[in-house]
Amino acid sequence: MNTDQLSDLLGIPKLTEHLRVINNRLNKIASTASDPLKLPLKRSVMGGKRLRPVLVIAAASCLGAEINDAIIDACVAIELIHISSLVHDDIIDKSAVRHNTPTVYAKEGADIAILAGDFLLAQAQLIASNVSSEFAKLLAATFASMCEGQAMELIDRSNLMRSKKTYLETISKKTALLFAASCKTGAILAGASKAETDHFEDYGQFYGLCFQLADDLLDILSSQQVSGKSVGTDLKEGIYTMPLILALEGEYKIELTQLIAAYPLSAVRINQILNLSGAFDKTRNMIKKYVEKSRIALESLNRNDTNTGLARLSAMLLS
């Protein structure tokens, strides 16, 4: 979905214009860095759907707010946090490609990638401090939780006993919390009440869970051309996501365990087992459950085009 289609879906006529401003700001920030960080940073800020800034703008628009400089600044800071986390994640996962572009880790090495991610994080906090102390605290706390989520994932690497509960706790911190913070930020900057802010935060949390579960499926079922990143990375790196966790609960556990331990990895047979075990369908049902929860989170808010569009945005993760 391109930005014009997203604009129509959410009923935000100027969304494309807002995202263009955000993209220009991101590129400008990357350009302020000196060599050897400038080129890898400019490459890092390119691409991406900008979903988190979209949610900031959508939450504010739901409440009838004009998209002002403070909201745009918040969008930029949140996206910088997101990109920073990706640059660092690529080091941990040894990823070669993201957004169909070589990662900083793959092209410039781990040392430059660490510094590039840190640069983006510092820029995010600098911008956040100029928005408000409340926003700066929220962003810092969110990033700390994201680090905890990443640490939880590392501890569970190659753990065949990884539970659904632990996995959901991990993705809640690593992925969903930044979506929740995005929605909460848009609501706060629009002058929302505590109750309204809580509803938007809940929506973002449930949307984030849907998003990550859908991404789990994409990592297994997609091609690099579609996903824009290396496919099958999770399994190769011992990151066992929900489809595999569910399949390991059933009758194929022994064969699946043997296949995972074998070298080279038989991805085709593993995918066949995940399909036969019903793990793909069960994961889709989990996504459906959180899509419904995200819809319910919006129910008590005043209905408008953007509100309805947010519900549809969640539902699209089922396709």
pLDDT at 234: 83
Of 9, 26, 145, give the one whose Cα is nearest residue 75.
26
Residues 6+ apart with CB under 8 A from 26: 45, 76, 79, 80, 83
Q: Tokens representing 57?
A: 């703008």
**Is 228 within 8 Å of 100 (Cβ atoms)?**
yes
**Is 229 within 8 Å of 95 (Cβ atoms)?**
yes
Taking the C-alpha atoms of residue 59 and residue 67, their distance in angstroms, rounded to an integer, is 11
User: Which domains, and CATH codes, for the chain?
Assistant: 3-318 (1.10.600.10)
* pTM, two decimal places: 0.94
Tell me the H-state helices in the chain. 3-10, 15-31, 38-44, 51-62, 69-93, 104-108, 110-131, 133-155, 164-171, 177-189, 194-221, 224-227, 233-236, 242-247, 253-261, 267-276, 279-299, 305-315
**Which residues in the chain show pLDDT less than 50?**
223-229
**Is 10 within 8 Å of 307 (Cβ atoms)?**
no
Taking the C-alpha atoms of residue 176 and residue 185, their distance in angstroms, rounded to an integer, is 14
**Is 311 within 8 Å of 12 (Cβ atoms)?**
no
